[in-house]
């Protein structure tokens, strides 16, 4: 027996389809909020300049909420014992993470893909810190350098320019990979470097003799088993700002330098 579908359901369905079509024709991406903590996060979300009541959301560990509205939002959540509201902007990725005091906070993310972890938002390493990381790695002319989460490719490109070595950068964000390729061309090192649009967790970086990372501590925890299995003994791993937990016995050098605005950058060097 055929069932009739009520008119309001059809209208709702058509509305959703037209919204999706409009969004994709305007190149509008969804706003995503990911829960990178190990607990369920409860928060409310309210479109900016709207009379709508805040909507309650429950986000399980590892889950991603997706919003395809054309507005910015105010997100309210409990940071420690206090309520905090943060404005987020449409089409961008965000992540709930724990801050250094182990309180919940909402940070910029790097992508809203469900098939890959968000290892760190895009924050480029300042050029003088890049120089220091490379000098601490004690690069040899035969080295092959990988930067996992390479951003605009600056570390790989500087290494190729200064030391003439081959390098590979991996990033999940297509914009970053286009920037990296353009920067390599501009620097005239396109024959020495390669940039891969890929999830770091799916890349075979076993040929690396020098590995650079500027990723969040929990991401380094996720990657460490790959360091253990993929990297050959003797490989140098240089980590910007965060220590590789579990590799304390492999640490061979450490420094911290004060950059502009009194921001401290720490560099950890390990030998596998």
Contacting positions for ligand SAM (CB under 6 A): 110, 116-120, 122-125, 147, 149-151, 154-155, 170-173, 176, 199-200, 214, 240
Shortest distance, CB of residue 244 to ligand SAM, whole angstroms? Answer: 15
Environment class of residue 256 by beta-carbon count within 10 Å: exposed (0-12), middle (13-18) or buried (19+)?
exposed
How large is the C-alpha radius of gyration of the chain? Answer: 22
Angle of helix 127-136 relative to helix 154-163, nearest 10 degrees, comes to 60
Exposure class string for 16-43: b at 16+ Cβ within 10 A, else e: eeeeeeebeeeeeebbbbbbbbeeebeb
User: Do residues 208 and 235 touch, judged by C-beta distance below 8 A?
Assistant: yes
Q: Which is closer to ligand SAM, CB of 88 or CB of 155?
A: 155
Closest separation in Å from C-beta 232 to ligand SAM: 22
**Partner residues linked to 212 by β-bridges:** 147, 238
* CB 148, min distance to ligand SAM, A: 7
- Among residues 59 and 119, whose Cβ is nearest to ligand SAM? 119
Cβ partners under 8 Å of residue 90, min gap 6: 28, 31, 67, 69, 70, 71, 72, 73
**Nearest-approach distance from CB 21 to ligand SAM, in angstroms:** 28
Contact 186, 209 (CB under 8 A): no
- Residue at shortest CB range from ligand SAM: 149
> Which is nearer to ligand SAM, 209 or 239 (by Cβ)?
239
Nearest distance, CB of residue 117 and ligand SAM, angstroms: 5
Q: Which is nearer to ligand SAM, 10 or 254 (CB)?
A: 254
Q: How far is the CB of 260 from ligand SAM (least distance, A)?
A: 15
Instruction: Using the minimum distance from each CB to ligand SAM, give the nearer residue, 110 or 209.
Output: 110
Nearest residue (CB) to ligand SAM, 45 versus 150: 150
| Termini Cα distance of the chain | 68
| Min separation Cβ 60 and ligand SAM, Å | 20
CA angle 101, 128, 197 (to 5 degrees): 75
Is the Cβ of residue 65 or residue 118 nearer to ligand SAM in the bound state? 118
The C-alpha atoms of residue 147 and residue 26 are separated, in whole angstroms, by 33
């Amino acid at each position: 027996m055929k069932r009739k579908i009520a008119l309001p359901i059809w209208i709702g369905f058509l509305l959703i389809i037209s919204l999706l079509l409009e969004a994709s024709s305007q190149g509008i991406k969804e706003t995503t909020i990911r829960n990178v903590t190990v607990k369920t996060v409860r928060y409310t979300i309210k479109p900016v300049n709207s009379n709508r009541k805040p909507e309650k959301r429950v986000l399980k560990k590892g889950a991603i909420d997706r919003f395809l509205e054309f507005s910015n939002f105010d997100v309210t959540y409990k940071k420690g014992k206090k309520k905090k509201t943060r404005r987020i902007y449409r089409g961008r990725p965000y992540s709930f993470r724990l801050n250094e005091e182990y309180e919940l906070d909402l940070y910029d993310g790097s992508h809203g893909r469900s098939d890959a972890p968000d290892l760190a938002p895009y924050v480029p390493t300042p050029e003088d810190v890049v120089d220091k990381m490379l000098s601490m790695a004690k690069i040899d002319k035969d080295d092959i350098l990988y930067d996992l989460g390479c951003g605009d490719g600056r570390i790989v490109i500087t290494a190729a320019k200064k030391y003439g070595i081959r390098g590979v950068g991996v990033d999940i964000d297509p914009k970053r990979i286009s920037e990296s390729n353009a920067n390599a061309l501009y620097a005239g090192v396109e024959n020495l470097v390669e940039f891969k649009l890929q999830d770091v967790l799916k890349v075979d970086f076993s040929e690396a003799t020098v590995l650079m990372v500027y990723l969040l501590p929990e991401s380094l925890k996720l990657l460490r088993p790959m360091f253990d299995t993929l990297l050959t003994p003797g490989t140098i791993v240089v980590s910007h700002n965060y220590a590789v937990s579990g590799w304390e016995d492999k640490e061979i050098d450490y420094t911290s330098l004060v950059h502009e605005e009194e921001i401290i950058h720490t560099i950890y060097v390990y030998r596998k």
